Chain A
Amino acid sequence: MVFEFEVQGGDFATAGNASSQIKKILKQLNVDHHDIKRIVVALYEAEVNIVAHAYKGRITANIDTSEVRILLVDEGPGIPDIELAMQQGYSTASSEVREMGFGAGMGLPNMKKNTDEMRITSIVDKGTTVELIVFINQTTS
Protein backbone atom coordinates (compact mmCIF):
# COMPACT_ATOMS: atom_id res chain seq x y z
CA MET A 1 0.00 0.00 0.00
CA VAL A 2 1.22 3.47 -0.84
CA PHE A 3 0.21 6.71 0.85
CA GLU A 4 1.28 10.23 -0.10
CA PHE A 5 1.26 13.51 1.78
CA GLU A 6 2.31 17.07 0.98
CA VAL A 7 4.22 19.10 3.57
CA GLN A 8 4.43 22.90 3.55
CA GLY A 9 7.62 24.53 4.82
CA GLY A 10 7.04 26.95 7.70
CA ASP A 11 3.52 25.68 8.41
CA PHE A 12 3.83 24.59 12.05
CA ALA A 13 0.04 24.48 12.46
CA THR A 14 -0.16 21.34 10.32
CA ALA A 15 3.21 19.83 11.30
CA GLY A 16 2.70 16.23 12.32
CA ASN A 17 -0.51 15.66 10.33
CA ALA A 18 1.10 13.13 8.00
CA SER A 19 2.61 11.29 10.98
CA SER A 20 -0.78 11.21 12.66
CA GLN A 21 -2.46 9.80 9.52
CA ILE A 22 0.17 7.11 9.12
CA LYS A 23 -0.11 6.18 12.80
CA LYS A 24 -3.87 5.64 12.29
CA ILE A 25 -3.28 3.52 9.19
CA LEU A 26 -0.66 1.36 10.95
CA LYS A 27 -3.04 0.82 13.87
CA GLN A 28 -5.82 -0.24 11.51
CA LEU A 29 -3.40 -2.68 9.89
CA ASN A 30 -2.68 -4.14 13.35
CA VAL A 31 1.04 -3.48 13.08
CA ASP A 32 2.89 -4.31 16.33
CA HIS A 33 2.64 -1.31 18.64
CA HIS A 34 6.39 -1.18 19.33
CA ASP A 35 6.96 -0.89 15.60
CA ILE A 36 4.31 1.83 15.34
CA LYS A 37 6.03 3.82 18.09
CA ARG A 38 9.38 3.72 16.30
CA ILE A 39 7.90 4.65 12.94
CA VAL A 40 5.94 7.54 14.45
CA VAL A 41 9.00 9.04 16.19
CA ALA A 42 11.19 8.81 13.07
CA LEU A 43 8.52 10.07 10.69
CA TYR A 44 7.47 12.97 12.92
CA GLU A 45 11.06 14.19 13.18
CA ALA A 46 11.54 13.94 9.41
CA GLU A 47 8.23 15.67 8.75
CA VAL A 48 9.02 18.54 11.14
CA ASN A 49 12.45 18.92 9.56
CA ILE A 50 10.74 19.73 6.25
CA VAL A 51 8.51 22.27 8.03
CA ALA A 52 11.39 23.81 10.00
CA HIS A 53 14.18 23.72 7.43
CA ALA A 54 12.79 23.32 3.88
CA TYR A 55 10.29 25.05 1.57
CA LYS A 56 8.05 22.15 0.75
CA GLY A 57 8.12 18.40 0.51
CA ARG A 58 6.35 15.18 -0.27
CA ILE A 59 6.10 12.08 1.89
CA THR A 60 5.55 8.68 0.29
CA ALA A 61 4.92 5.78 2.64
CA ASN A 62 5.11 2.21 1.38
CA ILE A 63 3.62 -0.28 3.78
CA ASP A 64 3.83 -4.02 3.29
CA THR A 65 3.61 -6.99 5.63
CA SER A 66 7.28 -7.00 6.61
CA GLU A 67 8.47 -3.42 6.31
CA VAL A 68 7.50 0.22 6.24
CA ARG A 69 9.56 2.31 3.87
CA ILE A 70 9.04 6.08 3.92
CA LEU A 71 10.57 8.51 1.47
CA LEU A 72 10.64 12.24 2.24
CA VAL A 73 11.70 14.46 -0.64
CA ASP A 74 11.95 18.20 -0.08
CA GLU A 75 12.86 21.33 -1.94
CA GLY A 76 14.98 23.45 0.33
CA PRO A 77 18.46 24.64 1.26
CA GLY A 78 19.83 21.11 1.54
CA ILE A 79 22.33 19.90 4.14
CA PRO A 80 25.96 20.83 3.36
CA ASP A 81 27.51 18.39 5.87
CA ILE A 82 25.26 15.45 6.68
CA GLU A 83 27.70 13.89 9.17
CA LEU A 84 27.77 17.15 11.15
CA ALA A 85 23.98 17.50 10.99
CA MET A 86 23.61 13.97 12.40
CA GLN A 87 25.43 14.95 15.60
CA GLN A 88 23.22 15.38 18.63
CA GLY A 89 22.91 19.07 19.47
CA TYR A 90 23.75 20.40 16.01
CA SER A 91 21.03 22.73 14.75
CA THR A 92 20.66 25.68 12.41
CA ALA A 93 17.08 26.37 13.54
CA SER A 94 16.05 30.02 13.69
CA SER A 95 15.44 31.71 17.05
CA GLU A 96 11.66 31.66 16.47
CA VAL A 97 11.76 27.94 15.88
CA ARG A 98 13.93 27.44 18.98
CA GLU A 99 11.51 29.41 21.13
CA MET A 100 8.84 26.87 20.23
CA GLY A 101 11.06 24.15 21.63
CA PHE A 102 12.33 22.84 18.32
CA GLY A 103 15.98 23.11 17.37
CA ALA A 104 17.56 20.89 20.02
CA GLY A 105 19.43 19.05 17.29
CA MET A 106 17.87 15.77 18.38
CA GLY A 107 15.63 15.02 15.40
CA LEU A 108 18.12 13.23 13.14
CA PRO A 109 19.55 11.16 16.04
CA ASN A 110 15.96 10.20 17.00
CA MET A 111 15.34 9.11 13.40
CA LYS A 112 18.51 7.04 13.34
CA LYS A 113 17.71 5.38 16.67
CA ASN A 114 14.18 4.42 15.69
CA THR A 115 14.75 2.98 12.22
CA ASP A 116 16.44 -0.16 10.92
CA GLU A 117 17.86 1.73 7.96
CA MET A 118 18.10 5.42 7.19
CA ARG A 119 19.56 7.12 4.15
CA ILE A 120 19.99 10.82 3.59
CA THR A 121 21.09 12.46 0.40
CA SER A 122 21.16 16.19 -0.13
CA ILE A 123 22.09 18.78 -2.70
CA VAL A 124 22.78 22.27 -1.39
CA ASP A 125 20.24 24.85 -2.65
CA LYS A 126 18.08 22.08 -4.14
CA GLY A 127 16.83 19.82 -1.41
CA THR A 128 17.07 16.78 0.78
CA THR A 129 15.85 13.21 0.46
CA VAL A 130 15.42 11.03 3.52
CA GLU A 131 14.56 7.35 3.40
CA LEU A 132 13.38 5.63 6.57
CA ILE A 133 12.99 1.86 6.76
CA VAL A 134 11.51 -0.05 9.68
CA PHE A 135 11.05 -3.82 9.62
CA ILE A 136 7.71 -4.71 11.14
CA ASN A 137 5.95 -7.68 12.71
CA GLN A 138 9.15 -9.69 13.05
CA THR A 139 8.35 -12.65 15.29
CA THR A 140 11.16 -12.95 17.79
CA SER A 141 9.77 -15.93 19.70
Chain B
Amino acid sequence: MTVKELVEALGLTVISGATGLDKEIAGGYVSDLLSDVMGNCDAGKIWITLQTHKNVMAIASLKDLSAVILVKDLKPEPDMALQSEEEEIPVLGSSLPTFELAGKIYDLLN
Protein backbone atom coordinates (compact mmCIF):
# COMPACT_ATOMS: atom_id res chain seq x y z
CA MET B 1 0.00 0.00 0.00
CA THR B 2 1.27 3.50 -0.80
CA VAL B 3 1.00 6.51 1.48
CA LYS B 4 -1.51 7.97 -0.94
CA GLU B 5 -3.73 4.88 -0.74
CA LEU B 6 -3.62 5.05 3.05
CA VAL B 7 -4.61 8.72 2.97
CA GLU B 8 -7.59 7.88 0.77
CA ALA B 9 -8.65 4.84 2.79
CA LEU B 10 -8.72 6.68 6.12
CA GLY B 11 -9.46 10.24 5.01
CA LEU B 12 -6.19 11.54 6.44
CA THR B 13 -5.13 15.14 5.83
CA VAL B 14 -1.98 15.73 3.80
CA ILE B 15 -0.34 18.55 5.74
CA SER B 16 2.99 18.72 3.91
CA GLY B 17 5.37 16.76 1.74
CA ALA B 18 2.75 15.74 -0.87
CA THR B 19 5.53 14.97 -3.38
CA GLY B 20 6.33 11.88 -1.29
CA LEU B 21 2.84 10.33 -1.42
CA ASP B 22 3.85 7.53 -3.79
CA LYS B 23 6.14 5.89 -1.21
CA GLU B 24 5.32 2.29 -0.32
CA ILE B 25 4.44 1.52 3.32
CA ALA B 26 6.44 -1.32 4.87
CA GLY B 27 4.63 -1.22 8.23
CA GLY B 28 4.00 1.14 11.10
CA TYR B 29 5.54 2.23 14.40
CA VAL B 30 3.99 4.12 17.29
CA SER B 31 6.17 6.08 19.69
CA ASP B 32 6.72 9.54 21.10
CA LEU B 33 10.26 8.76 22.26
CA LEU B 34 12.73 9.77 19.58
CA SER B 35 15.52 7.36 20.59
CA ASP B 36 13.01 4.52 20.56
CA VAL B 37 12.14 5.29 16.94
CA MET B 38 15.81 5.78 16.08
CA GLY B 39 16.73 2.42 17.56
CA ASN B 40 13.73 0.27 16.69
CA CYS B 41 11.79 1.58 13.70
CA ASP B 42 12.72 0.17 10.28
CA ALA B 43 12.97 1.92 6.92
CA GLY B 44 9.78 2.34 4.93
CA LYS B 45 7.47 2.43 7.94
CA ILE B 46 4.97 5.12 8.85
CA TRP B 47 5.48 6.74 12.24
CA ILE B 48 2.47 7.70 14.37
CA THR B 49 3.30 10.33 17.00
CA LEU B 50 2.17 13.44 18.84
CA GLN B 51 5.58 15.12 18.57
CA THR B 52 5.33 18.15 16.27
CA HIS B 53 8.88 19.57 16.09
CA LYS B 54 11.60 19.48 13.44
CA ASN B 55 13.63 16.67 15.01
CA VAL B 56 10.82 14.30 14.00
CA MET B 57 11.66 14.98 10.35
CA ALA B 58 15.40 14.62 10.99
CA ILE B 59 14.70 11.11 12.29
CA ALA B 60 12.16 10.29 9.56
CA SER B 61 14.77 11.25 6.97
CA LEU B 62 17.73 9.49 8.61
CA LYS B 63 15.63 6.31 8.96
CA ASP B 64 14.06 6.57 5.46
CA LEU B 65 10.52 6.44 6.84
CA SER B 66 7.58 6.70 4.41
CA ALA B 67 5.46 9.22 6.34
CA VAL B 68 4.73 10.73 9.73
CA ILE B 69 1.15 10.81 11.03
CA LEU B 70 0.16 13.31 13.69
CA VAL B 71 -2.78 12.28 15.85
CA LYS B 72 -5.60 14.25 17.49
CA ASP B 73 -5.53 17.08 14.90
CA LEU B 74 -2.06 18.18 16.02
CA LYS B 75 -0.23 20.46 13.59
CA PRO B 76 3.51 20.42 12.85
CA GLU B 77 5.61 23.43 13.77
CA PRO B 78 6.48 25.48 10.64
CA ASP B 79 10.08 24.22 10.42
CA MET B 80 8.87 20.61 10.69
CA ALA B 81 6.46 21.18 7.77
CA LEU B 82 9.25 22.86 5.78
CA GLN B 83 11.65 19.98 6.28
CA SER B 84 8.90 17.53 5.29
CA GLU B 85 8.59 19.39 1.97
CA GLU B 86 12.36 19.41 1.44
CA GLU B 87 12.79 15.74 2.26
CA GLU B 88 9.61 14.74 0.38
CA ILE B 89 8.39 12.79 3.40
CA PRO B 90 4.68 13.45 3.96
CA VAL B 91 3.31 14.67 7.27
CA LEU B 92 -0.28 13.48 7.56
CA GLY B 93 -2.95 14.43 10.05
CA SER B 94 -5.77 12.54 11.72
CA SER B 95 -8.44 13.57 14.19
CA LEU B 96 -8.29 10.14 15.82
CA PRO B 97 -6.36 9.36 18.99
CA THR B 98 -3.34 7.05 18.61
CA PHE B 99 -5.02 3.78 19.64
CA GLU B 100 -7.91 4.06 17.17
CA LEU B 101 -5.68 5.26 14.33
CA ALA B 102 -3.06 2.55 14.84
CA GLY B 103 -5.80 -0.10 14.96
CA LYS B 104 -7.28 1.02 11.64
CA ILE B 105 -3.88 1.16 9.96
CA TYR B 106 -2.96 -2.25 11.33
CA ASP B 107 -6.12 -3.73 9.82
CA LEU B 108 -5.40 -2.15 6.44
CA LEU B 109 -1.79 -3.34 6.30
CA ASN B 110 -2.43 -6.89 7.46
Contacts and interface: CB of A to CB of B under 8 A. Distances in A.
The 3 A-B residue pairs whose C-beta atoms are closest, nearest first, are A16-B58, A106-B35, A110-B39
B36 interface: yes
Interface residues of B, number: 19
Interface in A38-85: 40-41, 44-45, 48
A106 B34 CA distance: 9
Interface of B: 32-36, 38-39, 43, 49, 51, 53-55, 58-59, 61-63, 79
Interface string A20-47: 1001000000000000010011001100
B5 to A, nearest CB: 26
Given A20-B61, A20-B62, A12 B39 contact: no
Contact of A107 (B35, B49, B53, B54): B35
B62 A40 contact: yes
A44 B62 CA distance: 9
Contacts of B58: 15-16, 19-20, 44
A15 B35 contact: no
Contacts of A105: 35
Nearest to A109: B39
